[in-house]
Structure 1
C-alpha cells in the first residue's frame, strides 16, 4: 500500500508510473486524485481514466492501466467523484475494475 496523498502535482503521476513499473503493477486504483472534471488520456505507456470531483480539490477516483490493458478498455463510467468502473476486453471472460472512495 502506498499513499501519494493527491495527484494534484504533475510530478506525482510520473512518480506513480515509476512505482508501478518497479512493482510490476498492471492496474492501479486511486482515491482522492482531486483532478477537476473527468477524463481519459495516455501518459506514455499508461492510460489514465478518472472521475470528476464532488467538491473542488477534494475526492475523485481513477484507474491507471499499463498499455496492454489500456488498449482493451471497452468502456467506463464514473459518478460524483466517488466511484469509477472500467470494463476490459480480456480472455477468457471480460473483466470489470471498480475503484470506490468512501471518506471517513
Structure 2
C-alpha cells in the first residue's frame, strides 16, 4: 500500500463490499499514526524499513466509535472501539513467513496485545497469519488443508 492511489481504491472497495473494518498488512508506510480521508480513518503502525507494517481502515460510521489505538510493534496494532455493553479490542497482526524465532515472537506479541486490553473487552484478532496449506487431512478442525504431517504426539514432521 505504498501509493496514495491505492488508498482511494481501498476506500471504494470497502464501500462496495459493505465492510466496516479492514485490516491491512504490508502497508509500507513509515512510522505510526492516524489519517482521515473522506471520513475514513486509517490507523497504521510501521517501522523505518517499509516492510511488515500493519494498519486498519475504518468506515466513517465505525470511526466514530474509536476510543484509542496503539502500536505494539510494526507487525501489530490495537484499536479500541466503544461498544454498547463492552468495548471491543481489535488486534491486527501480520505474522512472519519462515523464521522460527520471529514466529515465536509474534505469538508473544499477540499475548501481550491481549493483556493490554481490559478483561471484559471483546477481543477480535484479524490479520495475515501466513498459514501453510497442503492436501493431508489430519484433524477435523484443520480439515484437508494442513501442510505438515503430525505424529500421534502432535509434533510436526516434514
Same fold (TM over 0.5): yes
Greater strand percent: which structure?
1
Return 5+ residue gaps in structure 2 as ranges: 98-158
Residues 45-98 of structure 1 deviation map (CA, whole Å, 9 limit, x = unaligned): 200100022x51211100110112112111111133110010001213211111
Flag the structure with higher helix content.
2
Structure 1 residues 33-72: aligned runs within 5 Å: 33-53=27-47, 55-72=48-65
Give the alignment's TM-score, normalised by structure 2.
0.59
| In structure 1, C-alpha distance between the alignment counterparts of 2:71 and 2:51, rounded to whole Å | 15
| Aligned counterpart in structure 1 of residue 95 of structure 2, from 79, 91, 102 | 102
* Counterpart check, 1:11 vs 2:5: yes
- Corresponding residue of 1:73: 66
Once superposed, what is the RMSD of the aligned Cα atoms?
A: 1.1
TM-score, length of structure 1 as denominator length? 0.87
Secondary structure of the corresponding residue to residue 93 of structure 1: coil
> How many residues in Structure 1 have an aligned counterpart in Structure 2?
97
Q: Runs of at least 4 residues of structure 1 off by over 4 A?
A: none
